[in-house]
Amino acid sequence: MPPVSGGFFLGIKGNQMLKSACLCLISCLVMTACASGPPKLPYPAFVQVDELPDIFMASMPGIRAKQLAGDPKTRRGSKRIDVPPEWNGTSGGMPGRSMEIFVVDGSMTIADIELGRGGYAFLPAGSLGFNLRSTDGARILYFLNDVDPESVIRSPIIIDASLLEWQSTAVDGVSTKELRKDPGNGAATWLLRVTPGAALPWEESSTIREGYLLQGSYQHTECVQGEAYTWQYQAGGYFYRPAGTINGGPESMAMSETTWLLRETRGGEHQTVPDCVATPNASF
């Protein structure tokens, strides 16, 4: 065999060894990143809900729930609940709490109205108990809010989000669907859709915001006392962001088309800011 051929095959073998070494290095880096996990912040962010422990809910026997935020002793707060097939229960009377339910998957019947994926219900404080049931099972987001004397909406809201039109925003590639907006205290619940590659500006809000990623893969940055922390959310990701926190920035973008459910229990001021800087008014 001519020497050039031997050199050719040696080159192939060398390339293969180089590729194997590169793949090994990449795998090691990925494993190291996965082992280290998301950055630890002074508030819940970059949370994957599947990794949270199950809790028991006396008000809804026979279900599994994940505590997202709030106090399980007072029942106030946010949960993700897996409702088994053939389950029956009730919302109960809530004299000091309003309730919100969003169907992530499956179907849930509230009173006589069946809500499939994307169904939303708001039951104001003082509402009589509504019958709840699921024939085939459902995964729902379940929120109990403290009663607010400034709230104006006093009647139930039950809607199918799929019937609502997406509304464009000032940011290219970002659109919203409003599920509830209280003109009194400004409390709001809405869907946010971000198309792949759409980047968000740095922004700051004067009120608490929480979000649950319904679908897609999304990268976001949280700014904590001037330090930027970036991580990727997968479907089932969750955050609970205090007032006065800066977040967003050029590294925040959708890796695939994503849909978030977002909530604020009171209205606030939202403004864009030039960069990640320390914020003395942050509430964490």
Range scoring the smallest mean pLDDT among 67-76, 118-127, 158-167, 196-205: 67-76
CATH of the domain at 81: 2.60.120.10
Question: Quick check: 121 and 192 in contact, CB under 8 A?
Answer: no
Q: Quick one: 248 and 229 in the same domain? A: yes
Instruction: Point out the domain boundary residue: 103, 137, 160.
Output: 160
Q: Which residue has the tokens 């320390």?
A: 278
Q: Quick one: 137 and 70 in the same domain? A: yes
In a domain, 183, yes or no: yes
Burial 158-194 (b: 16+ CB within 10 A, else e): ebebeebeeeeeeeebbbbbebbebeebbbbbbbbbb
- Domain range for 121: 50-160
Q: Quick one: 76 and 140 in the same domain? A: yes
Question: Quick check: 194 and 258 in contact, CB under 8 A?
Answer: yes
In a domain, 206, yes or no: yes
Tokens encoding 283? 């509430």
Q: Quick one: 136 and 103 in the same domain? A: yes
pTM of the entire predicted model = 0.85
Q: What pLDDT sits at residue 255? A: 95
Q: Quick one: 102 and 127 in the same domain? A: yes
Residue 1 has pLDDT above 50, yes or no: no
Query: How confident is the prediction for the chain on average, in pLDDT?
Result: 85
Q: Quick one: 99 and 169 in the same domain? A: no
Q: What pLDDT sits at residue 20? A: 42
Q: Quick one: 153 and 173 in the same domain? A: no
Q: Quick one: 130 and 189 in the same domain? A: no
Residue 49 has pLDDT above 70, yes or no: yes
Q: What pLDDT sits at residue 76? A: 75
Mean pLDDT of 185-211: 95
Q: Quick one: 55 and 156 in the same domain? A: yes
Instruction: Point out the domain boundary residue: 109, 141, 160.
Output: 160
Mean pLDDT of 195-215: 95
Q: Quick one: 221 and 127 in the same domain? A: no
Dist. CA 157–CA 195, nearest whole Å: 28
Q: Which of 22-26, 151-155, 246-250 has the highest mean pLDDT?
A: 246-250
**Number of domains observed in the structure of the chain:** 2
In a domain, 37, yes or no: no
Q: Around Cβ 250, how many Cβ atoms within 10 Å?
A: 10
In a domain, 15, yes or no: no
In a domain, 40, yes or no: no
Classify residue 255 by burial, with Cβ atoms within 10 Å: 0-12, 13-18, 19+: middle
Dist. CA 124–CA 122, nearest whole Å: 6
In a domain, 154, yes or no: yes
Q: What pLDDT sits at residue 119? A: 98
Q: Quick one: 172 and 256 in the same domain? A: yes
In a domain, 124, yes or no: yes
In a domain, 10, yes or no: no
Q: Quick one: 56 and 155 in the same domain? A: yes
107-153 confidence digits (pLDDT tens) = 999 988 999 999 999 998 877 678 999 999 999 999 999 888 899 99
Instruction: Point out the domain boundary residue: 160, 177, 202.
Output: 160
Q: What pLDDT sits at residue 161? A: 97
Instruction: Give 182's pLDDT tier (boundaries 50, 70, 90).
Output: very high
Alpha helices (H) along the chain: 3-36
